[in-house]
């Protein structure tokens, strides 16, 4: 069943997910796509209060829980003000860097579901000082131009303060197996989770596939879902930095495109990051090598994933991460290699099928006396 999975099938799913509008706190469109994908293979399916989708595939053991987590949300923008001339001021949703915004097109979604296109405007180079050309504009300098001539015209369109915007970009093929688009962080992890969940066969543990909300603004959905599920072991499925491009020394590389999914050892520069459970790391490497799946080992300087809060749930959860290398993360032109995506699916499936209750039990609290 797993061997029949094609790059075309994966690209089609990733395109559908990537092009959906779903910044943090507004994941409804993506949530419906996820439900459509998992309802045919899940033994149980629910949406929790915060909006996480939780699908369950029952294991043969009748006890033990493996949680897979991939987040639905993307970075985006809030409309924060509408001026008299019809220009929209904006504030970020999640870690959206100003350098990614320069002269981009956006899609605005209103509260009643209407969708409009706009452009992120700035003063042109002809009317600014030469030194300003070398500076990255601040967020307060950006505005969105929807083509309107007045505030009244914008309001008649149904656009209000608090409405959302995301990059306007299709998922497009490059040469070979590489593709580019927006929201690959983390729609590619979501695609990996959905496809692996579909093809997992006869797991011993119950497998919980959780499409989480609000990861980009503080890992909030994963924290709530982990508390509800109380998993015995967990994997987050997310992107990591592929830094194999000009301007980065080889010794600074985190991962490379096309060399396989990455097995995370650690991430983050602060207490909010993750040091993956060493036994989970060992098991992932063992499974990859036994299954002939290419992999990379990842130590990431900054950023983290849902696994960080899952690991701290209740008395603690052994947690790891399968990462998909991606160039230009948090931009409208993220790039991944479909070979890495397929191998991430294979690794997730193999880990779920080879994880035993006895192994999970060996990781739990042990009373010494």
> What residues are labeled active site?
215
CA dist., res. 205 & res. 64, Å (int): 5
CA distance readout (Å), 114 to 20, 42, 81, 156, 163: 14, 32, 18, 12, 10
The arrangement of strands across the sheet holding 319-326 comes to: 44-47, 53-57, 206-212, 65-71, 233-241, 319-326, 262-266, 296-299
Q: Which letter does DSSP use for residue 232 in this model? A: S
Q: What would the two tokens of residue 259 be?
A: 């060399």
| Opening angle at CA 363, ends 361 and 367, nearest 5 | 85
Helices 338-354 and 278-291, axial angle in degrees (round to 10):
110
CA distance readout (Å), 265 to 297, 306, 316: 7, 14, 17
CA dist., res. 131 & res. 155, Å (int): 37
CA dist., res. 206 & res. 300, Å (int): 30
Q: Which letter does DSSP use for residue 138 in this model? A: P
């Amino acid at each position: 069943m797993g061997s029949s999975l094609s790059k075309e099938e994966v690209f089609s799913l990733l395109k559908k997910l990537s092009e959906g509008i779903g910044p943090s706190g507004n994941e409804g469109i993506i949530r419906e796509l996820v439900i459509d994908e998992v309802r045919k293979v899940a033994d149980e399916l629910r949406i929790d209060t915060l909006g996480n989708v939780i699908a369950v595939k029952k294991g043969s053991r009748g006890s033990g829980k493996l949680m897979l987590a991939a987040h639905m949300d993307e970075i985006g923008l809030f409309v924060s003000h509408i001026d008299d001339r019809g220009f929209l001021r904006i504030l970020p949703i999640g870690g959206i860097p100003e350098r990614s915004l320069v002269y981009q097109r956006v899609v605005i979604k209103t509260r009643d579901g209407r969708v409009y296109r706009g452009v992120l405007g700035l003063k042109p180079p002809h009317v600014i000082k030469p030194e300003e050309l070398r500076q990255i504009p601040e967020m307060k300098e950006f505005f969105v131009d929807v083509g309107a001539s007045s505030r009244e015209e914008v309001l008649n369109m149904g656009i209000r303060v608090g409405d959302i915007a995301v990059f306007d970009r299709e998922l497009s093929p490059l040469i070979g197996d590489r593709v580019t688009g927006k929201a690959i962080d983390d729609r590619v992890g979501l695609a990996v989770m959905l496809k692996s969940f579909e093809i997992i066969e006869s797991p011993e543990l119950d497998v919980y596939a959780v499409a989480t909300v609000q990861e980009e603004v503080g890992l909030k959905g994963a924290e709530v879902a982990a508390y509800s599920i109380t998993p015995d072991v967990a994997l987050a499925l997310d992107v990591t930095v592929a830094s194999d491009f000009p301007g980065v020394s080889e010794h600074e590389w985190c991962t490379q495109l096309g060399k396989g999914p990455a097995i995370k050892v650690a991430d983050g520069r602060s207490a909010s990051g993750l040091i993956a459970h060493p036994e989970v790391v060992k098991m992932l490497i063992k499974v990859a090598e036994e299954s002939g799946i290419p992999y990379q080992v990842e130590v990431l300087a900054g950023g983290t994933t849902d696994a960080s809060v899952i690991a701290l749930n209740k008395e603690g959860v052994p947690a790891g991460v399968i990462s998909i290398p991606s160039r230009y993360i948090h931009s409208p032109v993220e790039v991944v290699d479909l070979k890495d995506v397929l191998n991430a699916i294979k690794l997730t499936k193999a880990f779920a099928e080879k994880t035993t209750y006895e192994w999970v039990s060996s990781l739990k609290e042990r009373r010494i006396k």
